[in-house]
Amino acid sequence: MRLILFSLLFYSLFVHASEVTLSQEEQRYIKAHPMIRVHNEIDWAPFNFYEDGRAQGLSIDLMNLIAQKVGLKVAYITGYSWNEFLTMMQNNQLDVMLNIVKNENREKYLLFTTPYQSVAHCVVVRNDAPWKIETIQDILDKNIAMEEGFFNHHYLKEHYPSVRLTLKKDTLSTLQSIAYSETDLTVGLVPVETYMIKRYGLSNLKVIGISDEELFAPKDLRIATSVSNPILLGILQKGLDAIDQEERNRIVNLWVNTNVEKIMNWNLLFKILFVFCLILAGTLFWTWRVKRIQKELADSNFLMHNLLNAIPNPIFYKDVNGAFLGFNQAYEEAFGIDSRNFIGKTVLDLDYLPREDRLKYHEEDMRVIQQTLSLKREQKMVFHDGVLHHTLYSVNGFKMLNGKPGGLIGIFADISHQKKIQHELEISRQEVASSHKAIKDSIEYASLIQHSLLPNHTLFRRFFSDYCVLWQPKDIVGGDIYFMEEFNDGNELLVMMMDCTGHGVAGAFVTMLVKAVERQIIATIRHQEERISPAKILGIFNRSIKHLLNQHDATAINNAGFDGAVFLYDKANARITFSGACLPLFYIQTDGTLNIIQGDKHSVGYKQSQAEYVFSEHVLPVEQGMRLYITSDGYLDQNGGKKGFPFGKSRFTDLLTKHSQESFADQQEIFIDTLHAYQGDEIRNDDIMLIGFKI
């Protein structure tokens, strides 16, 4: 069970007695909120921990002293993790966070005082660790243990997202995971890590200092309040400012620097001896010192000169008057000059530039220097080779240590090659766009051809009292198609629906092949004047597709085909003869009963189908008012809903039963709207085709 402890601190004299001057608004705040809720860590010594039934540590003593000075009472709340404390601050369940480091994310919901303690960072590893750790790069391939929610956690996650982090709830469990070889190392504050290692006897751990990275720079500890509580922050800041150096040293020496006095004595002795040596050395020392400084300056200038010459981009630098102080070798080579002839001159003296350009550049130089500006632009420049180069020109003004303008530094980056590549890429992009448009135009024209293959609705209106047709390709063209043909002087109607392999262009090609076979079948029927058999028609389709696509065995290259439904409506005899290849026929009788005639589990075409397969045939008597439906699998297989599951046959049959008595025009809208709502943000899976009609 989580422990939540409130430690109440009451101060003598008056409840709201204050040692600092507070505004009337601040006094009213304290009167309305005499007690503030302050976070207390379970174990983060020596700054903030809970022991012997009370909150202790450097941060706690500092908070108590601030509260005393401003006349507040404090309730320390402990028992939560660092992340939970931050959440409580965001939810106004906590008033104050101690020993917190300011970062950009926390500034969104917290206000911070000035720092009250700066603490160095370190790395903790086992004594027998075989690695040599000198820079941040030496730890990035290790398994790093880290307190969840701490500054270091967010820093490594943001700047080195690929590093392996093992998150722990507190500092003790972090150090124990290293001591027990569960992890390799951690990054923390020197006083905390040292204190915890000694306190818990983790003698197989050692502390290593690193100073080459922002992560390992000393971190400022602050006090924070919610962004919605600026008055409290102002009160705490006044209390913090009222703590004098003697009081601050007393608290720090108590918790962090127990050997300060001893160290300070040695420092004092060293200073006395050093001053004594200076007095003895006299003029000789200062002469040596000046010579050494002169040598260091000469070495520094030599190093800077070589560094500048190592940079492949032309660089120049000028003084406060715009006169050249120097150039690097790349500048001399690019513009064909000898720097010795230009030192001390301004851009006005560069006779290889047009006069109007020199005037413009000099005016710009002086503005950059006086206002310490930073300018960047693309600029075309003629180099010494006589070729016009595309460059990225950057110039920055700088100030001297006294804050006065000091000069500027400029650099030219030759981006001619990048510009050439950019131009070539643009040409390629235009070519791709042109090709894409041509392909799209071709497919759109193919769509017109495919639309022309679809029968008009005259036969539907002639044979049925009501109907609907929903044909929606997934792409511009699709693989679903249907055909109709009238026979026997208008007494019989043959309807065929095919869900061909794939969708888009591939599916559309298969529909063209199916259309060709369909026309041959219709011609044969009319020529031979034999009885129309939907099952026989599917069989002819099956053999023809397999023959045309050379699907003689499993080694065939092509594996196309279709699922289909074929029915013949005999108006005179009031019956429907149906045959299906993996597609069913749904029909609703006049009493509202829904029935399904399943198609054979055998597709038309495909390598695995049997060439001589005989499809089943079903005869269904019909009556006035009966409603019938056939659909491809695109409607039933569409993913959607909360879990992304297919729409399914169950939902489809419920939809038919619920709305079967409505007009087919209304049903068509319901089919479209229902599927669109179910689909949501999911992509369309397949072409959709649905035909419904009423006897």
**Mean pLDDT throughout 413-437?**
85
pLDDT tens digit sequence for 469-478 = 999 998 888 8
Looking at domain 1-119+218-258, its CATH class is alpha beta
**Mean pLDDT throughout 66-86?**
93
The residues spanned by each domain of the chain are: 1-119+218-258, 121-211, 311-418, 447-694
- The architecture CATH gives domain 121-211: 3-Layer(aba) Sandwich (3.40)
HSE-CB at 460 with a 13 A cutoff on CA atoms is 18
Query: With 0-12 CB in 10 A as exposed, 13-18 as middle and 19+ as buried, what is 167?
Result: middle
Question: Mean pLDDT in the chain?
Answer: 86
pLDDT tens digit sequence for 226-242 = 999 999 999 999 999 99
State the sign of the Cα–Cα–Cα–Cα dihedral 101, 102, 103, 107. positive
> What does the pLDDT read at residue 273?
64
> What does the pLDDT read at residue 500?
92
pLDDT tens digit sequence for 375-390 = 998 888 888 888 888 8
pLDDT tens digit sequence for 560-617 = 999 999 999 999 999 999 999 999 999 999 999 999 999 999 999 998 889 899 999 9
* pLDDT above 80: residue 305: no
- The architecture CATH gives domain 447-694: 4-Layer Sandwich (3.60)
> What does the pLDDT read at residue 260?
29
* pLDDT above 80: residue 25: yes
* pLDDT above 60: residue 268: no
Token match 């959607």: residue?
Answer: 640
pLDDT tens digit sequence for 457-473 = 899 999 999 999 999 99
* pLDDT above 90: residue 113: yes
Banded pLDDT at 301 (limits 50, 70, 90)? low
Q: Report d(CA 63, CA 100) in Å as an integer.
A: 13
Q: Report d(CA 131, CA 380) in Å as an integer.
A: 51
> What does the pLDDT read at residue 257?
54
pLDDT tens digit sequence for 533-560 = 999 999 999 999 998 888 888 777 888 9
* pLDDT above 90: residue 151: no
State the sign of the Cα–Cα–Cα–Cα dihedral 112, 113, 114, 120. negative
* pLDDT above 90: residue 33: yes
In the chain, the amino acid numbered 132 is K
**Mean pLDDT throughout 420-429?**
87
> What does the pLDDT read at residue 14?
32
**Mean pLDDT throughout 261-286?**
57
Q: Which two tokens stand for residue 127?
A: 């004594």
Backbone torsion region of residue 426, taken as left when φ is above 0, otherwise alpha when ψ lies between -120 and 50, otherwise beta:
alpha
> What does the pLDDT read at residue 18?
63
Banded pLDDT at 5 (limits 50, 70, 90)? very low
What is the CATH number that goes with domain 311-418? Answer: 3.30.450.20
Q: Report d(CA 318, CA 397) in Å as an integer.
A: 9
Length of the chain: 695
Sheet bearing 6-9, strands edge to edge? 6-9, 73-77, 35-39
* pLDDT above 90: residue 492: yes
- Domain 311-418 and domain 447-694, same fold? Reply is no
pLDDT tens digit sequence for 627-673 = 999 999 999 999 999 999 999 999 999 999 999 999 999 999 999 99
Q: Report d(CA 588, CA 553) in Å as an integer.
A: 41
Banded pLDDT at 174 (limits 50, 70, 90)? very high
